Amino acid sequence: MPPRPAHSKLLLIISLLVLILAAILSRTTTFFPRLALLASHLTTTSHPASSLTTTSPIMSSPSYEKELKVAQLAVQRAAILTKRVFHEKAKGTVSKDDKSPVTIGDFGAQALIISALKANFPTDEIVAEEESATLRTDASLRDQIWELVKSTKLDDPAAEALLGGSIKDADAMLDIIDLGNSKGGAKGRIWAIDPIDGTKGFLRGGQYAVCLGLMVDGDVKVGVLGCPNLPVNDSAPLDAGIGENQSDYEGRGVIFSGVLGHGATSRPLGTGALAEGRAISMKPIKDMTQASFCESVESGHSNQGESAQIAQKLGITRPSVRMDSQAKYGSIARGAGDIYLRLPTSKTYQEKIWDHAAGDLIVREAGGQVTDTTGKRLDFSVGRTLAENKGVVAAPAEVHDQVIKVVQEVIGQK
C-alpha cells in the first residue's frame, strides 16, 4: 500500500530537518558565534558607572578592532625606538635631564605614536606627557630625536603603511608632539600616552613600558602596554632581579592588550607585523601566604612601609617584588604576580591618567579588579589626572575586597 499523503509530508519535513542540521554542523564556526552574539545582545543588562564588575559580557561591546591593531603596532614601533635609545645612548646614564636619553626616547616615541593615531583617527584627542617647546629652542636635541624618528620603522611594509608611514620632516615632528595637549574629560574619544613609563627602570635596564589607552566618554575601552624587558613567557614568575639589568637577555619583550568586554592578551614584542597573541588571566590565589605583590621601586611613588604591614596582615610571607612602570599591571594580569599596591605618599599628589589607563583595563579584562584605596574604581573622566582617587589596589576579583579591607585598616580609612 503506498504511504498516505500525511505520512509523505512528515517524511519530507524530517528529511529537510536532517539537511538543515547537517548544514549547521558543517558551519559551526560561523553559526555559534553569531548565536552567541545574538544572545549577548538579548541578555546584557546595564550597570551603573560605579559598578565593580570586572568585565562586560562577552561580545556585548564594540570590538574596536582597528583601534586595537593600530595601538599595538604604534606601541611596537615606539618600543623599537626606545630600545635603540637605550643601547645607543642610555647605558651608564643615571639621571633624567632635558638632554638625557630618557628625554630623547620620550619625545621620539610620543611623536611616532601620535603620528600613527592621527593618520587613522584624525579627530581623536590625545593626552600626552611631552610638549615641544624645549626642542624648538635646542636644535641639537631636536636633530638627535629627528634622526631616530625618521629611521625607526616596522620591518613589515603593510604594518608600517597602516601607521601612516614616515613623518615628513623635523618641523612636522614638533607639531605632532604638541598634538598631545588635550585636557582630557568625560566626552569624546581621547587617547592617553606615556611614551616611557618608568624613567629610572629604563635607565637601569630594568622595567619600563610604552603605554597607550583609548577612553571613550571617560571610560577606558582599549589598552596596550609594550614592555621590552619583561619575559615573553607568561608563566615566568617574578623575582627580585626583575627590576634591573634585563635589557640584553633573550626571550624578553611582550605586548599586553585589552579591549573592554573582550578579554586580555599577551604576545611577543616584535619588529614587524604583530605576533600571534595568547589569552591571559590572573592566577587564582588559593593560599594567601604564598601570594606575591608588586610595588614601585621608588619609595616616593608608594608607601613601602604600609605595604609591608598590609602583606603581614594578609599573611603574605614572600618579599615584595619592586619594579617600575605599568609592567606591574601586565605582570599580575598574566599571573606572574598577584597583587599590586600603590599607596599614597602625599595627600595632595594626583596620579596621571597615562600612568594607569592601559594597565587598569588589562587587569580588569584578565579577571582582576582595580580600585583606589577607598574601593572606588579609577575615574579617568575628570581631566589629565585621577583627581577623584587616592592610590591603587589591583588584585584578583575574588580576593580584592579582602585586600581592600586590610589596606583600609593599615592606612586608617574607614
Q: What is the pLDDT of residues 152-208, one digit of tens each?
A: 999 999 999 999 999 999 999 999 999 999 999 999 999 999 999 998 899 888 999
- Residue identified by cell 584627542 is 125
Phi then psi for 371, rounded to 5 degrees?
-140, 180
For residues 206-233, average pLDDT: 97
| Residue positions annotated with a catalytic role | 106, 199
Element (H, E) at 206: none
pLDDT averaged over the chain?
Answer: 85
**To 5 degrees, how large is the angle CA 155–CA 130–CA 259?**
60
DSSP per-residue string spanning 218-279:
TEEEEEEEEEEEEES-TTPPP-GGGGSS-TT-TTEEEEEEEETTS-EEEEE--SSSPPPPEE
Dmax (CA) for the chain in angstroms is 102
Q: What is the pLDDT of residues 39-80, one digit of tens each?
A: 333 333 333 333 344 443 344 468 999 999 999 999 999 999
Q: What is the pLDDT of residues 349-400, one digit of tens each?
A: 999 999 999 999 999 999 999 999 999 999 999 999 999 999 999 999 999 9
Angle, to 10 degrees, between the axis of helix 101-120 and the axis of helix 65-85? 160
Is pTM beyond 0.75? Reply is yes
